[in-house]
Amino acid sequence: MPEARLGATAGRFATGLLGVGAALLAWKLAAGAIASPLILPPPGEVLAVFWRLLSSAPFWRAVLGTFGRVAAAFALSILAGTATGTASGLSPRVKDFLAPLLTTIRATPVLALILVAMFWLPSSGVPVFTAFLMAYPVMHTSVHSGIAETDRELIEMASVFKVPARVRFFKLRLPSAETHFLAGAKNALGMCWKVVVAGEVLSQPARALGTGLQDSRLSLDTAGVLAWAAATVLLCGTSEFALGLAARSAAKRRHGGAA
Amino acid sequence: MSAFAASGIRKAFGDLAVLSGVDADFPAASVTAILGPSGCGKTTLLNIIAGLLPADSGSLTGFPEAGFSYSFQEPRLLPWLTASENVAFALSGAPGDPQALAGRAERFLRSAGLDKFAGQRPAKLSGGMKRRLSLARAFAYPSDVLLLDEAFSAVDLKLRIELMDLFSLLWREERRTTIMVTHDVQDALYLADRVLVLSSRPAKVLDRLEIAAPRESRRYGSRDFAEFEERLYEDILG
């Protein structure tokens, strides 16, 4: 059985690799047809720039700076989203109270938030604030759904046995919300990476992937822009993958291997 | 006079009248089966007794002050807790010394043959073991009244009899006032000291039956109670 599963995983991986190969080939053909590296440099050129970036200290400082901002925005959105999502999952009144605010945040274009934040905050704070505002409603909604959708039959069982509210909250409500929480966290993390880098492009803080992107753009270095963008995609994908692994192992521990 | 009684219990959901003046008494330390056709309001009556639903009118004696434990048709176990943690979860609000409660949990898990599986989560337990765990949890909780809502239904006959035998075993360990809801005449005749038959909706008590034979001497499905059986089927089928 494990061999069969391994084979299926390898098969999926090979298919994915084939897809990447096809996309690279299409890119190479398009770059050849356009024949202007300013508009579309070939993949080899971007790879060479990316390789040079990897061996430069400013790149790693930028990675650390952006990673710190993403971590801060992610942590804030997890904390705030869990707090208000839990409260609104337990109380319809809190849910109604927060609904207009959340709708407004969700409907506001990210660019407008970045521009407004630039009036209020130092350049390194803009991406954190904006990413927090974009990721917070995602976490709020996920946690709210998890808490509100706790199995009614289990709640009824806890009521009959007069299980204290504190125990009910920590042992029943919170674990019930785990799947929703993890799905929300994964979405929020991806959103934080995208919005933090977008915020950095406009607010230009020191040591930032977004600043690297913008600098390359101003130097008309299209290959550089694509290399910085590739670095962002890789970092975002890696952190989402790491979060997924941690979530799966936590679920496996909680459910005794039945997750 | 019985320790627990319900009198004139009425309940409607909107225009749908479910209970129309149910009068019943439940002697202490006895097993009373509430029998009736599907959808007649047996579970509604049980939920009113447990305080999960308010009655529209009528009164309850003894029940409002009582502590309840419940075993449902579905085991209702928390999948992220082990068998012993599931019992501990239910006991977390129970009155009494925590150490004594932990001792009770251990004792009833052992009596239910689950002591070797105390550290397993529900996903690792068979359907029968989950039902046994649900019964052990209900007995471990030091309640005044034990409520069983179709706790032996929706399983094959062998498992059903095993579960009912386990109930008898645990009940002998601690004689608890028990109210069991069932739609199965044989289950009622196998376990109950008294049977209350509810009519179709809107339900009231149609018949009352005392079964004097000791539970230990009864055999499931035997013809020893043919007379009772006939009477109950007549009550239900009209």
Sign of CA dihedral A56, A61, A67, A69: negative
Q: What percent of chain A has pLDDT over 90?
A: 76
Q: How far is CA B208 from CA A118, B3, B21, B40, in A?
A: 79, 18, 15, 16
Question: Any chain A CB within 8 A of the CB of B233?
Answer: no
* B173 & B98 share domain: no
The residue segments making up the domain with residue B11 are 4-67+144-237
* B62 & B176 share domain: yes
Show me where the domains of chain A are located. 1-33, 41-254
* B91 & B160 share domain: no
Q: How far is CA A31 from CA A20, A46, B67, in A?
A: 16, 11, 77
Q: What is the mean pLDDT of chain A?
A: 91
Domain end, chosen from B99, B125, B143, is at B143
* B37 & B86 share domain: no
Of residues A186, A83, A91, the one with CA closest to residue A148 = A91
Check whether the bond before A100 is cis (ω within 30° of 0): no
Verify whether the Cβ–Cβ distance A164 to B93 is below 8 Å.
yes
What are the tokens at B205? 């008590």
Question: How many angstroms separate the CA of residue A173 from the nearest CA in chain B?
Answer: 11
Rounded to whole angstroms, the Cα distance separating B136 from B159 reads 16
Q: Which fold has domain A41-254?
A: MetI-like fold (1.10.3720)
- When pLDDT is cut at 50, 70 and 90, the band that residue A128 belongs to is very high
List CB contacts (< 8 A) between B69 and chain A. Answer: 160-161
Among A82-86, A244-248, B115-119, the minimum mean pLDDT is found in A244-248
* B59 & B106 share domain: no
Contact A63, A227 (CB under 8 A): no
Helix or strand or coil: residue A126? helix
List CB contacts (< 8 A) between B74 and chain A. Answer: 153
Residue A259 or residue B142, greater confidence: B142
- When pLDDT is cut at 50, 70 and 90, the band that residue B2 belongs to is low
Verify whether the Cβ–Cβ distance B141 to A161 is below 8 Å.
yes
Best mutation target, A157, A172, A174, A182, to test chain B (most B CBs within 10 A)? A157
Among A93-97, A150-154, B34-38, B228-232, the minimum mean pLDDT is found in B228-232
The pLDDT tens digits of the residues spanning B188-198 come to 889 999 999 98
* B138 & B149 share domain: no
List CB contacts (< 8 A) between B67 and chain A. Answer: 162
Select from A160, A172, A258 the Cβ nearest to the Cβ of B78.
A172
Question: How many angstroms separate the CA of residue B145 from the nearest CA in chain A?
Answer: 11
In a domain, B72, yes or no: no
CATH code: domain of residue B187: 3.40.50.300
Domain count along chain B: 2
Q: Is the per-residue pLDDT at B209 higher than 80?
A: yes
Rounded to whole angstroms, the Cα distance separating A188 from A199 reads 16
Q: Which helix (H) or strand (E) holds A186?
A: helix A178-203
The pLDDT tens digits of the residues spanning A62-114 come to 999 999 999 999 999 999 999 999 999 999 999 999 999 999 999 999 889 89
Can you give the pLDDT at residue B207?
Answer: 87
Q: Is the per-residue pLDDT at B166 higher than 50?
A: yes
Can you give the pLDDT at residue A85?
Answer: 95
Q: How far is CA B40 from CA A79, A180, B175, in A?
A: 48, 38, 29
**Starting at the edge strand that comes first in sequence, how are the strands of the sheet with B68-71 ordered?**
B68-71, B145-149, B177-182, B31-35, B194-198, B205-210
* B108 & B209 share domain: no
Can you give the pLDDT at residue A258?
Answer: 42
Select from A161, A172, A258 the Cβ nearest to the Cβ of B123.
A258
Q: What is the DSSP letter of A248?
A: H
Question: How many angstroms separate the CA of residue B123 from the nearest CA in chain A?
Answer: 6
In a domain, B73, yes or no: no
Domain end, chosen from B126, B143, B160, is at B143
List CB contacts (< 8 A) between A162 and chain B. Answer: 67, 93-94
Verify whether the Cβ–Cβ distance B123 to A163 is below 8 Å.
no
Q: Is the per-residue pLDDT at B86 higher than 70?
A: yes
Q: Tell me the ipTM for this assembly.
A: 0.87
* B228 & B131 share domain: no
Domain end, chosen from B143, B165, B181, is at B143
* B105 & B33 share domain: no
- When pLDDT is cut at 50, 70 and 90, the band that residue A254 belongs to is low
Q: What is the DSSP letter of B183?
A: S
Total CB pairs under 8 A between chain A and B: 66
* B192 & B219 share domain: yes
Q: Is the per-residue pLDDT at B14 higher than 50?
A: yes
Rounded to whole angstroms, the Cα distance separating A157 from A23 reads 54
Verify whether the Cβ–Cβ distance B121 to A256 is below 8 Å.
yes
Question: How many angstroms separate the CA of residue B78 from the nearest CA in chain A?
Answer: 7
* B37 & B117 share domain: no
Q: Is the per-residue pLDDT at B1 higher than 50?
A: no
In a domain, B214, yes or no: yes
* B158 & B60 share domain: yes
In a domain, B169, yes or no: yes
